[in-house]
A = this chain, B = another copy of it.
Amino acid sequence: MPDVVVSPATTQEVVAVVKTCSKMQVPMIPYGGATSIEGHLLAPLGGCSIDFSRMNAVKRLSKEDHDVTVQPGLGYLELNEMLKEHGMWFPLDPGPGASLGGMCSCSCSGSTAVRYGTMKDNVLSMTVVLADGQEVKTSSRAKKSSAGYDLTRLFVGSEGTLGIITEVTLKIHKIPAYSNSVRVSFDSIDAAAKTVQDTLAAGIQIGRAELLDDTMVQVLNKANNTRHREATTLLFELSGESPGSVADAQRAVLALAKKRGGGKPHVATNPEECRELWRQRKEALWSLMGLYPELECMTTDVCVPVSRLSDLIGQSKRELDASRLPAPIVAHAGDGNFHALIMFDRTNPADVAEADRLSSFMVHKALEMEGTCTGEHGVGVGKIKYLPEEHGDGAMHTMRVIKRGLDPGGLMNPGKVLAHRRDPQTGRLVLCA
């Protein structure tokens, strides 16, 4: 728990908070939609939680330039409600409730990254307040620039540890005019993962390519009272600006699925059917938690080169299926990213240890396969222990140099991304080696 919570309304108020905290040596923890799952919002060293719920305005919209400037407390669902009337959207879709500032901080993505990229690809510019209260405008509003170090992409994904985001300019996109969704089941994870690979290799423009394992289909069948075949399943979204281009893409995907032994496909063409298909996918976590109301969920987040996904899910699934903890899998298969949703009882030490063991197994396997311990959730406190293995000494050194340079007092969200401790002599926060 933090020692104090403040709710600023403007960048100027954030500057005042930051200057006061720096003077008093109080850690600062930005607080957005509170949907992050790696402990980003915790205050392990005490401090001041900076709640952005009052800073949730849309400041400007340019339909011509396809960009919008918002305050960081605005939710992406609220932004999309506003954009819809202009035929536009901000396609990234992390957990519902996420705020755009938090999404920048954690460099999230979601099911649409295969088409639109991650936050790193969709933030044009930000205003950030540094530990000493200086305001930084990270970039102009031009679509591209080579004018010096890329501060936008340095602060995106820095999880509040280098500065506090007070304004964000995002790229927005036209809502595709035509969109179909396809559901196909497979006899093996390998056949499904290879189908996605084949689709990418063929250059087919897909909007989404999601994989559910058999356990997850079981969960969704129970929760939604459906009777889908309980086998590895792919959900594709195909979208474009003409019916012909969508039909061409759909035909090509279905042919590739068939070659890999895919079952009879279900094609959703009308908007309500498509929405229903993606609603069920989007609510997978809640469906699962509804089945185990007494348990909590640990969501893993490894990501590997696409060619290794099948192997990694295969190895992971053997461990998961052998475990007594329920742990279905959903994957953003087009990105090589998957989540195991491990259900466990936090009051039972054996459960906690088993969930940790499974998560650690997947991380180490992913790192062996040239992957990352977190594809889209961020480091927070939960993944700190894996960073040295993933990055090596040189990169860890570089991150610490940047952190020390921009936050010498260690007050910006300390204990996230890089470990901190309080020096017993001086009382100051210092970076651990």
Binding site for B on A (CB under 8 A): 62-67, 106-109, 113, 117-118, 120-121, 128, 130, 134-151, 153-154, 156-158, 162, 173-174, 176-177, 197, 200-205, 240-242, 244-245, 248-249, 252, 301, 303-307, 335-337, 366-367, 370-379, 383, 386-387, 390-395, 397-399, 401-402, 404-406, 417-418
Contact = CB atoms under 8 A, between A and B. Distances in A.
Contacts of A128: 394
Contacts of A118: 144
A368 to B, nearest CB: 11
A72 B393 CA distance: 22
A311 B146 CA distance: 22
A108 B335 CA distance: 25
Contact of A140 (B138, B147, B301, B390): B390
A337 B121 CA distance: 18
A140 B386 CA distance: 13
A177 B65 CA distance: 30
Given A153-B154, A204-B241, 5 more contacts: A64-B307, A66-B201, A142-B372, A148-B395, A242-B252
Contact of A149 (B121, B147, B417): B417
Contacts of A113: 144
B377 A143 contact: no
Nearest to A302: B142
- Interface-central residue, A120, A144, A157, A242, by most chain B CB under 10 Å: A144
Contact of A150 (B140, B154, B173, B406): B154
Contacts of A252: 241-242
A64 B64 CA distance: 37
A272 B31 CA distance: 57
A203 B392 CA distance: 42
B306 A64 contact: yes
Given A371-B142, A397-B134, A391 B121 contact: no
B404 A150 contact: no
Contact of A146 (B64, B202, B249, B379): B379
B417 A143 contact: no
A170 B217 CA distance: 36
Contacts of A141: 305, 370-371
A396 to B, nearest CB: 8
Nearest to A173: B203
13 contacts: A62-B305, A120-B144, A134-B393, A137-B391, A137-B395, A142-B372, A147-B390, A151-B399, A153-B153, A174-B202, A204-B241, A245-B249, A401-B406
Given A153-B153, A242-B248, A248-B242, A398 B406 contact: yes
A336 B142 contact: yes
Contacts of A303: 142-145
A82 to B, nearest CB: 18
Contact of A387 (B147, B157, B404): B147
